[in-house]
């Protein structure tokens, strides 16, 4: 059979590459109707972005003047590509961000120019949420309808991987390393707080699977650690006045201190690389809070970044989808109360691609 050029597209939110890009990043984020619904969104998104920009610029200024997410994602793609090549699989890699360059549209255009015929849409959110993976896949669907209506590229989707064994081992290794940095006499007293980006309660009520998948990741990590420490799941990065999933990370830190717990290990469990939520919110904002409320030992576990076990995880996910493809069983299921018509269209679109891949691979095996 003729070799078909393969391309892996890393999908993520992205972050501003400079302080001058912050307002545009926020404007695109608040314009995303897959993420949120606002009155007169075309105009209100720009107003909200302009109002929030000074504060957010100040936060980015404290972590180096930009988001490091592109740099980390580029390193991850390069290391994964090298690892796959060592296993005899040559793939092109691409980055498609939702709110900053390189955008999904730019990545798809480059894939077509490169002659890619087998694409893997690889969500860099281990736990699926309609606000993250769902939004990215909806955007990819819109881009493909515009730029590849004849379906030159056949697509597979890695939409979630919250309990992949190498992801869990990577997290467990990083947690163990951080606990070992505590004074020996208080290591057993540590409380592990798994922190993830929160979600509006109305999204949870629609049936978004994110909270359950975050919980699955946390439970698997604790099991890998041998149930060595007590833990809780907490939620960060709430925006706006509406109710969000709790307990919030800052409230949890305050409550633990009040209840006499003085040793806390914070684990960013829904992020695959460092960015503003880890470098500013956890390392600066919550570290300062921990000091104020009387937590004596506060450790933040490193993000996955280029941890070798994590790179092996990325490689294994791609290999398994290319060598032993099985249709994602969850991807085609919409939330019970979903009101987004694009979501259903996108799921059906990728389901059709998966059916075509199954037929193609069945035909290939028959010929061989």
What's the rounded mean pLDDT across residues 267-277? 96
pLDDT band of 126, cuts 50, 70, 90: very high
pLDDT for 363 equals 60
- Segment 150-174, tens digit of pLDDT: 999 999 999 999 999 999 999 999 9
What's the rounded mean pLDDT across residues 212-233? 98
Distance from C-alpha of 66 to C-alpha of 20, rounded to nearest angstrom: 9
Q: Is 108 exposed, middle or buried, given 0-12, 13-18 or 19+ CB atoms closer than 10 A?
A: buried
Distance from C-alpha of 134 to C-alpha of 114, rounded to nearest angstrom: 26
Tell me, yes or no, if the pTM score tops 0.85. Answer: yes
Q: Is the pLDDT of residue 268 over 50?
A: yes
What's the rounded mean pLDDT across residues 220-243? 95
Contact 112, 148 (CB under 8 A): yes
What's the rounded mean pLDDT across residues 216-231? 98
Distance from C-alpha of 281 to C-alpha of 287, rounded to nearest angstrom: 8
pLDDT band of 356, cuts 50, 70, 90: confident
All structural domains of the chain, each given as residue ranges with its CATH number in brackets, are 6-161+309-367 (3.40.50.1400), 165-300 (3.40.50.1400)
Tokens at 115, concatenated: 């002659």
pLDDT for 1 equals 38
pLDDT for 184 equals 97
Residues annotated as catalytic (active site), given as ranges: 164, 316
Q: To which residue do tokens 């991987």 refer?
A: 161
């Amino acid at each position: 059979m003729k070799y078909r050029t393969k391309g892996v597209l890393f999908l993520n939110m992205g972050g501003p590459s400079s302080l001058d890009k912050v307002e545009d990043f926020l404007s695109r984020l608040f314009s995303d109707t897959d993420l949120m619904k606002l009155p007169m969104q075309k105009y209100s998104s720009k107003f909200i972005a302009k109002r929030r920009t000074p504060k957010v610029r100040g936060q980015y200024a404290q972590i180096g003047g930009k988001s490091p997410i592109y740099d980390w994602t580029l390193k991850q793609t390069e290391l994964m590509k090298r690892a796959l090549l060592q296993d005899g699989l040559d793939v092109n890699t691409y980055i498609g961000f939702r709110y900053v360059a390189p955008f999904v549209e730019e990545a798809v255009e480059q894939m077509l120019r490169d002659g890619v015929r087998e694409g893997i849409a690889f969500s860099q959110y281990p736990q699926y949420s309609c606000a993250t993976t769902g939004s990215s896949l909806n955007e990819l669907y819109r881009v493909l309808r515009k730029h590849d209506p004849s379906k030159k590229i056949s697509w597979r989707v890695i939409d979630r991987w919250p309990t992949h064994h190498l992801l869990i081992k990577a997290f467990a290794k990083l947690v163990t390393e951080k606990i070992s940095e505590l004074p020996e006499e208080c290591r057993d007293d540590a409380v592990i707080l798994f922190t993830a980006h929160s979600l509006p309660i109305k999204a949870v009520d629609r049936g978004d699977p994110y909270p359950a998948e975050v919980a699955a990741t946390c439970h698997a990590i604790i099991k890998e650690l041998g149930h060595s420490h007590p833990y809780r799941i907490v939620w960060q990065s709430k925006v706006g006045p509406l109710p969000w999933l709790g307990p919030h990370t800052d409230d949890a830190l305050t409550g633990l201190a009040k209840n006499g717990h003085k040793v806390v290990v914070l684990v960013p469990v829904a992020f695959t690389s460092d960015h503003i939520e880890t470098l500013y919110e956890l390392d600066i904002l919550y570290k300062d809070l921990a000091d104020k409320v009387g937590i004596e030992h506060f450790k933040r576990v490193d993000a996955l970044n280029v941890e070798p076990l994590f790179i092996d995880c990325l490689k294994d996910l791609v290999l398994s989808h290319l060598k032993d493809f099985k249709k994602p069983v969850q991807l085609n299921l919409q939330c019970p109360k979903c009101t987004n018509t694009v979501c259903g269209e996108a799921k059906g679109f990728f389901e059709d691609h998966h059916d075509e891949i199954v037929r193609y691979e069945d035909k290939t095996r028959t010929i061989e």
